[in-house]
Amino acid sequence: MTNFQQFLALLSILICIKAEWKTVQLTGDVPNNIVFHESVEYVTAAGSQLILLFGGQMLNGNILNQNIYQIDVQKYQVTKITPGGSVMTGRTKFASCSIVIASNTYVFLHGGYCAGNSFCGDFFQYDVAANSYQNLTNTLSRAEHSIVCDSQNNQIWLFGGKSSSTSVMNDLWQYDITSSAWKQADYNIFSQVVLNVVLWDGTTASITIDKYSDYLQISPSDLSNAPTMTLFGGPYDCSVQVTQMPNCRSNYSLLQKQNDPYLYLIGGQDSKNVFQDIWIYDIANKVWIQPQDGLPSTYTQFFTQQRATLSYSQDFTFLFGGYNWSTYSTNGFARSFSNGKISQLKIPQYSSQLAPQKVVGYSINSFSSGITMTGGCEDNTLINVSCAQSQLSLYILGINDCNQASTNHNQAKCMYGKYWCFDQFWGDLCQNNLCPGSMCLNDINSFESPFCYMCFGNGQCNSSGQCTSCTQTLAGISFIQNDCSTVDCKNSCGNAGTCVNYYPVSSCNCQKLLGGDYCGKTFCLNDCSNSGTCQQNGQCQCNQDKEGADCSIQIIGFLS
């Protein structure tokens, strides 16, 4: 197979991709900008897409907010709700998730920092239909953490986070919604166990076991000399680098795709490190798995400050922003659930449609029609005056919502926040015509720019679809033709033939009786049937007893 054939074999779709954010002007009871709040999304029976925004810090005087703001994502309208029941006190850096039970949405809100930066240590359930809070019993005091609602198992999962002013954790907890009980999740895992045993001959040996605990069947009493066991890492031991479960951390993202038996943990930080890893907890098998792909180190991205559930549409998790104490990122990434591939979103910076620059304290919600980003700030100092004084912001990355001004609908389909080019078009906005001998290739599980193979790999495709600068040469001969595919024939085929265009090497179609690479050789008919000499003019000079144009006729001599 040639490279080109391989390329054709790979070719399935032509797509050019671009994500577009829409800045929305909110009306109604719009509060000042909020950071470190939580928000959940839900869709009413009538189809309204709503976000409920809880808690957070309003920067005009650091007011911890006790109201709930309901944002209608289609009407861009904010309604302030005064909830009833045992109302949750204002707080920041807490955790939330929502679940639908008997067609009513329940929101769970856990921990965080209350006034005076003290750990709140409580846990609430908010019943959307009743607009009422319930104060649930709680055993865990956490902040800077995340919870996810697992609708399949009617559970809430909580991972690590800050448990005191100094320590971050890596334990995993389950809350059973039906029985209202917390319990620590099981791990079929020891990161490493070393057994030091004295053998029958008096020598000592150490056995290292680093697989699942199911395989650890030796109990100390089975051995005549009690072994010393050392457990490295694992829950509660954050002093060493663990390799088989996530390090202790806070400010990570935790998410679960609906009906998917895995928890996804992305990024986060402890007091010294910013993590750029991805961990998957396999709920059925109770093990943490680290996918090989991780986050490409070339992407300078800090997935802290997310604490958001980002499961979205069929296949992608979207991640935005983040910081590492000194550097801020406004990048966006998409991770495919199906193949784990991570690609960078190319968010355009159009003057009229700025991509959000929020890197900390915002919240993300996802709807079938798109993703929303609410509140947050441009940096972690929270002293940015425009951040503090501006209104609550809402940005929407809509599935069918590309920048109208830059989409040519005859050339691209805007879908899923990105431009998919029709055949014969290429470029960020599919604005260019594709050249002959060119194709663009992309992976549907990736938001990366398509890989384009232009002008048979020998030239450049300009925006009007014409190959330019077919500069490369093969064996010293320039490429010709409008697709840069053909090598010119040497010596112009001796002016005795035409150059035919076969990729990648041309050949001469010579005039009758001429041949050779460049028509420089004369041939006689049937090579004079081996019974004559081929002359310069292409005529056979036959041997004495032969005749005919190719000397194939035997001259029979008659005796006379």
Ligand X SMILES: *[C@@H]1O[C@H](CO)[C@@H](O)[C@H](O)[C@H]1NC(C)=O
Identify whether the C-beta of residue 360 lies closer than 8 Å to the C-beta of residue 347.
Answer: no
Q: Which long-range contacts (CB under 8 A, 24 or more apart) does 121-125 make?
A: 122/88, 124/86, 124/88
Give the up-direction half-sphere exposure of residue 434: CA atoms within 13 A in the CB hemisphere.
23
To the nearest whole angstrom, how small is the minimum distance from the Cβ of residue 315 to ligand X? 29
Contact (Cβ atoms closer than 8 angstroms) between residue 336 and residue 319: no
Check residue 539 for interaction with ligand X (CB under 6 A).
no
Contact string (CB under 6 A) for ligand X, positions 64-93, x = contact: ----------------------x--x----
Q: Rounded to the nearest 5°, which phi and psi values hold at 462?
A: -90, 175
Interaction between residue 386 and ligand X (CB under 6 A): yes
Residue range at the interface with ligand X (CB under 6 A); choices 11-19, 319-327, 515-523, 532-540 = 319-327
Specify the residue, 125 or 343, whose C-beta has the smaller distance to ligand X. 125
Shortest gap between Cβ of 36 and ligand X (angstroms)?
7
Among 327, 338, 541, 554, binds ligand X (CB under 6 A): 327
Interaction between residue 438 and ligand X (CB under 6 A):
no
Q: Residue 471: which of 480, 462, 463 has the closest Cα?
A: 480
Residues 364-383 that bind ligand X (CB under 6 A): 378-380
Of residues 77, 132, 192, 324, which one binds ligand X by CB under 6 A?
324
Q: Which is nearer to ligand X, 204 or 327 (CB)?
A: 327
Residue 405 CB neighbours (<10 A): 9
Tell the residue number behind the tokens 């909110």, with chain if given.
26
- For position 245 contacting ligand X by CB under 6 A, the verdict is no
DSSP per residue, 262-327: EEEEEEEE-SS-EEEEEEEEETTTTEEE--SS---TTS-----S-----EETTTEEEEE--B-SS-
Q: Minimum distance between the CB of residue 23 and ligand X, rounded to whole angstroms?
A: 12
Contacts with ligand X in 258-277 (CB under 6 A)? 269-271, 274
List 53, 99, 168, 396, residue binding ligand X (CB under 6 A):
168
Q: Which of 140, 360, 399, 414 binds ligand X (CB under 6 A)?
A: 360
Binding of residue 464 to ligand X (CB under 6 A): yes
Site map 113..132 versus ligand X, x via CB under 6 A: ---------x----------
CB 233 within 8 A of CB 245: yes
* The binder of ligand X chosen from 44, 74, 79, 135 (CB under 6 A): 135
Q: Are 338 and 318 in contact (CB under 8 A)?
A: no
Q: Map 45-100 to HEC letters.
A: CCCCEEEEEECCEECCCCEECCCEEEEECCCCEEEEECCEECCCCCCECCEEEEEE
Residue 169 DSSP symbol: E
Work out how close the CB of 76 gets to ligand X at its nearest, in angstroms, rounded to a whole number.
Answer: 19
Binding mask 25-64 for ligand X (x = CB under 6 A): ----------------------------------------
559 is written with which tokens? 């005796």
Figure out which of the listed residues 139, 184, 463, 535 binds ligand X, where binding follows CB under 6 A.
463
Which residues pair with residue 374 across a beta bridge?
Answer: 363, 394
- The sign one gets for the Cα dihedral 404, 409, 415, 417 is negative
Site string for ligand X, 274-313 (x = CB under 6 A): x-------------------------x----x--------
List residues near ligand X by CB under 6 A: 86, 89, 122, 135, 137, 144, 168, 250-251, 269-271, 274, 300, 305, 324-327, 360, 378-380, 384, 386-387, 462-464, 466, 468
